[in-house]
Amino acid sequence: MPVGESSGRTRPDACPGALQVHEAADGPLARVRLPGGAVSAAQLRVLAGCAAELGTGVIELTSRANVQVRGLRSPEVFAGRIAAAGLLPSPAHERVRNILASPLGGRGPDGLLDVLAMADALDRALCARPRLAALPGRFLFALDDGTRDVAGLGADVTYVATGRLLLAGADTGLTVAPDAAVPLMIDAAEAFLDELSPDGPRAWRIRDLPDGPARIATRLRAADPSPIDAANAPNAANAANASEAPPAPVSARRPSAGRIAQRDGRVAIEALVPLGRLTSDQAGALADLGRPLRLTPWRTVVLPDLSTGEADGTERALAAAGLATDPDSPWTGVTACTGRPGCAKALADVRADARQWVRGLGRAPATPVHWAGCERRCGLPRGPVRQLIATINGYEERQE
């Protein structure tokens, strides 16, 4: 992926939040940030109630493991309810709390580090810096536990459990120990703001800056070179030649479902949410499980730390709610943009068409399929994707 190309943008970022809503074709849309994809059962119940009583009855999962509620009849009441639920800790920073984290947080077979605790620490540090409220709403942090599931998502600032700090997905040779990772990531965000020109084109991401990763890395080294040293990385033997041996490219992760064995003998369950849309009833059913959940960038839900007996009951409850836990489910890898009636630019009700198409499948498609309402192809996943794009003459199929 090329980085460092100036965007040429002249307008400020208008990414929606919980307070700054977007006026969509079906009414005000609010987006709530969930750093690390973390949401408690009680918080999910509040979101379900908001969707049912104030919106269209649906909670949409985003590719950044956040949620959004459409068609709000009272954005002010919505904001008050989520603030009371602890989902709005800093009104000034609410649009910039974009933090991805490996959903299993070090519990899986390849996990090395509890990045979920780091996501909480990063969120607190971000909200504690008044200046960082000026970050664009699209600026993105990521914390990868060594699984390399979020390392390839192109975040502006990514910390990988092996010690790497990536900038706009580029390996600049920076390494740091876990206890120094959060301060360094915050410094990288500050450095991005330092690089912005008040008179030039607006940059929303590090990749929008010419030679952005190199410029940010230079500022970080100049500010404090001591922690940015391969010898201080968690695995010094592997990191010693960090700049000469960058990590291998990361393949795009496909949405999945089913049980995942944890290293402590317990299991996690990942459930597919068809087209990334939870009805208020489905959200309520998840809340009824009474467990913390992790939403993922693949629009799935992960419930960790289950015993075998708990997993059996959880799978039954998820299936009863219409959420897929079968890895071969026809819903695996099928995504869609908002389409009609929620988007004024859409040329078709792509979600309805996708649902009808999936009903004719016996198992998961061999290649991920994305349904798009127009040429913008919003929500297009990374990696090889079969694309069905609505036009005035029907759907046009492409493969990329």
In a domain? residue 289: no
Q: What is the pLDDT of residue 30?
A: 98
What average pLDDT does this structure show over 7-36?
88
Q: Which residues are within 8 A (CB) of 24 and not within 5 positions of it... i.e. 6 or more apart? A: 70, 71, 338, 342, 343, 344
Query: What CATH number should be reported for the domain holding residue 383?
Result: 3.30.413.10
pLDDT tens digits, 323-346: 999 999 999 999 999 999 999 999
Label residue 200 by pLDDT band (50, 70, 90).
Answer: low
Computed over every residue of the chain, the mean pLDDT equals: 90
pLDDT tens digits, 76-114: 999 999 999 999 999 999 999 999 999 999 999 999 999
In a domain? residue 85: no
Q: Which residues are within 8 A (CB) of 394 and not within 5 positions of it... i.e. 6 or more apart? A: none
In a domain? residue 372: yes
Label residue 9 by pLDDT band (50, 70, 90).
Answer: low
In a domain? residue 367: yes
In a domain? residue 132: no
pLDDT tens digits, 341-377: 999 999 999 999 999 999 999 999 999 999 999 999 9
| Upper half-sphere CA count for residue 231 (Cβ side, 13 Å) | 2
In a domain? residue 40: no
In a domain? residue 34: no
The pLDDT > 70 percentage for the chain reads 89
Do 189 and 99 meet the contact criterion of CB atoms below 8 Å apart?
no
Enclosing domain of residue 376: 334-399
What average pLDDT does this structure show over 120-143?
97
Among 9-23, 62-76, 93-107, the least confident range: 9-23
Label residue 244 by pLDDT band (50, 70, 90).
Answer: very low
pTM of the model: 0.91
In a domain? residue 208: no
Burial of 20 by CB count in 10 Å (0-12 exposed, 13-18 middle, 19+ buried)?
middle
Number of compact structural domains in the chain: 1
